[in-house]
Structure 1
Amino acid sequence: MSEDFYCDEVLNGKTQVNKVLETDNVLAYHHTRPFYPVHIVAIPKRHISSLLTLDESDNELLLELLGVITQVAAQVTEQYGACRVLTNLGQYQDSKHLHWHIAYGEPLR
């Protein structure tokens, strides 16, 4: 996998995705290789390496991203009764681009 799948593949249009919600600065879509029966990823359209690299100039984008995550999580919870919202850091973060998972169900793998 590339170092930044989201910039290199998704945002460049090389990998087609099933969009759930999109704003000017944020994209939420169904994971291309889901780990859960319902698995949605939310990403900023601008490269940010991880939650740990955010700085004060990212506050507006972070609020927009959290707003999208909240809307998607509310949709999943309404439809299925629950969801998980998580992000990975360090060695757990396969793609070095800030992203959040909104998921429901038991792991498929």
Structure 2
Amino acid sequence: MSDNCVFCRIAAGELPTTLLHTSPNTVAFRDLNPQAPTHVLVIPKRHHTDVAALATADPALAGEVLATAATVAQAEGLGANGFRLIFNTGRYAGQEVFHVHAHVVGGAPLGPMLVR
């Protein structure tokens, strides 16, 4: 755990949030600044800076994050119409919190992936 990482503190139960899903290695909770009608963050409880670092250090945990994201999408009713799963990696990609997290977004048409 990183003492100054907000997601580590959420995973440890030190910061209040409503957990939508929890497993031994992952947690899911709503994004405080939602970009779609449904916007849930899925994080591993152990600190990894980004998805590339996670995939290298612990591929099995990376798989658990994906499985949790799929479970959350189904629980949120996104299965029928689809959802987007986003991992921002690095500053140029818009990563703001440097603890790997998946954005599960959906609930309405999301439009093109990138605006040109």
- After TM superposition, the score normalised by the length of structure 1 is 0.79
**How far did 1:74 drift?**
2.8
Segments of structure 2 that go 5 or more residues without pairing to the other structure are 111-116
Query: Could you tell me how far apart the structure 2 residues matched to 1:12 and 1:25 are?
Result: 11
3-state SS of paired residue (1:102): strand
Higher RCO by CA contacts (8 Å cutoff, separation 6 or greater): 1
State the SS of the aligned residue for 1:32: coil
State the Cα deviation string for residues 54-108 of structure 1 (Å, max 9, x = none): 35540221121111111112333237x221111101111100000000011368x
Tell me, which stretches of 5 or more residues in structure 1 are unaligned? none
What TM-score, normalized by structure 2, do the two folds share?
A: 0.75
- Provide the C-alpha distance between the structure 1 equivalents of 2:12 and 2:33, rounded to a whole number of angstroms: 18
Aligned 8 A contact 1:17 1:32 in 2? no
1:9-41: CA deviations, max 9, x gaps? 412434322221110000011112222221100
Aligned length: 104
Q: Contact 2:22 / 2:28 at 8 angstroms: preserved in 1?
A: yes
8 A contact 1:85–1:103 mirrored in 2? yes
Partner of 1:93: 95
RMSD: 2.4
